[in-house]
């Protein structure tokens, strides 16, 4: 169940999501990566992101909090794909490296499409459930978070890829636990809410009520979480090393930007 193919092939990914509807299978799948110990820097950054989210949107899960979480959750996958293209600009003569970066792009595309589906459908649900969605709190602030998160994730990927994956592991763990709490608390109400969404159909899912939809979203998040650790395990020794050249480059770029402004 943990193979590289699951997180790069849309059909295998969807098959895994269907399998995870069984609570026992889900529990076993989740437990396989529960005890992963993340490093100090991703812990610090991940804790800060979650804390900011709790301050702005509250600790309790809600449709509007999910909307913001999903805007932000897409970002690491975009940053990994961008960072992979950046590295290909430098290492295009190294075929083996190019192939490995190809796997990163494939996984990132699939996860990004999945998160995009989440944000589109959840935005439509939030609009239906809340007549007023504030522009500052629910549109501008998530965009600012996303900007910050994109560059954090991109720089970490170039400097030490493991840290970028670990940061995503922490964010996806948070998303999974928020959806789990929400489903447990509102199961009956969610089952009675029908869902009709064209974007969801175009994506290829057939959920017809909120409950089934959120169950699958919760599974998506745990697959994203576990896949982040699988990506760490697939790194070569060279890819695991810290890249000092990129640290120098980033420091110089930050210095130049600070001088200009
Ligand atoms: Fe998501
Ligand atoms: Fe996710």
**Closest ligand by atom to 171 CA:** 2
Ligand 2 centre to CA of 146 (Å) is 14
Distance 217 CA to ligand 1 centre (A): 6
Q: How far apart are the first and last CA of the chain?
A: 50
pTM over 0.85: yes
Instruction: Provide the pLDDT for residue 6.
Output: 61
Evaluate whether 119 touches 67 at the Cβ level (below 8 Å). yes
Residues 158-203: pLDDT tens digits? 999 999 999 999 999 999 999 999 999 999 999 999 999 999 999 9
How many folded domains does the chain comprise?
A: 1
Distance 89 CA to ligand 2 centre (A): 28
More confident residue, 232 or 4: 232
**Nearest-CA neighbor of 164 among 101, 102, 103, 75?**
75
**CA 235–ligand 1 middle distance (angstroms):** 24
Q: What is the pLDDT of residues 223-255, one digit of tens each?
A: 999 999 999 999 988 888 888 888 888 888 888
The contacts of residue 259 (CB under 8 Å, 6+ apart) are none
The alpha carbon of 107 and the centre of ligand 2 are apart by a number of angstroms equal to 12
- Please, are residues 63 and 130 in contact by the beta-carbon 8 Å criterion? yes
- b (16+ CB within 10 A) / e for 236-260: eeebeeebeebeeeeeeeeeeeeee
| Cβ 223 vs Cβ 136: under 8 Å | no
Average pLDDT for 34-42: 96
Q: What is the CATH number of the domain that holds 82?
A: 1.20.1260.140
Determine the pLDDT at residue 1.
46
Q: Which residues surround ligand 1, an ion (CB under 5 A)?
A: 70, 73, 115, 118
Q: Closest ligand to 119 CA? A: 1
Q: Of 44-48, 81-85, 92-96, give the lowest mean pLDDT range.
A: 92-96
- How many C-beta atoms lie closer than 10 Å to residue 154's C-beta? 21
The mean pLDDT of the chain is 93
How many Å apart are CA 246 and CA 82, to the nearest integer? 15
The model's pLDDT over 201-211, given as tens digits with 9 standing for 90+, comes to 999 999 999 99
Structural domain for 8, as ranges: 4-260
Cα(80) to ligand 2 centroid in Å equals: 14
């Amino acid at each position: 169940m943990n193979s590289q193919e699951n997180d790069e092939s849309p059909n295998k990914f969807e098959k895994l999501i269907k399998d995870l509807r069984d609570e026992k299978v889900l529990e076993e799948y989740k437990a396989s990566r529960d005890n992963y110990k993340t490093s100090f820097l991703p812990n610090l950054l991940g804790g800060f992101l979650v804390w900011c989210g709790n301050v702005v949107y509250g600790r309790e899960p809600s449709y509007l909090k999910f909307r913001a979480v999903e805007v932000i959750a897409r970002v690491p996958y975009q940053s990994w794909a961008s960072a992979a293209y950046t590295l290909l600009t430098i290492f295009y003569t190294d075929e083996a490296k190019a192939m490995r970066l190809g796997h990163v792009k494939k996984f990132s595309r699939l996860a990004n499409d999945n998160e995009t589906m989440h944000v589109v459908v959840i935005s439509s649900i939030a609009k239906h459930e809340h007549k007023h969605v504030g522009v500052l709190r629910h549109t501008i602030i998530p965009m600012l978070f996303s900007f910050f998160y994109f560059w954090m994730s991109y720089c970490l990927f170039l400097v030490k890829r493991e840290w970028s994956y670990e940061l995503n592991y922490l964010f996806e763990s948070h998303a999974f636990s928020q959806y789990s709490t929400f489903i447990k608390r509102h199961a009956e109400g969610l089952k009675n809410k029908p869902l009709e969404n064209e974007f969801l159909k175009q994506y290829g899912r057939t959920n017809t009520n909120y409950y089934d939809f959120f169950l699958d979203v919760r599974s998506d998040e745990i697959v994203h979480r576990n896949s982040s650790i699988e990506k760490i395990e697939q790194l070569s020794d060279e890819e695991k090393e810290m890249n000092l050249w990129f640290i120098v480059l980033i420091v110089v770029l930050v210095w130049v930007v600070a001088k200009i402004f």
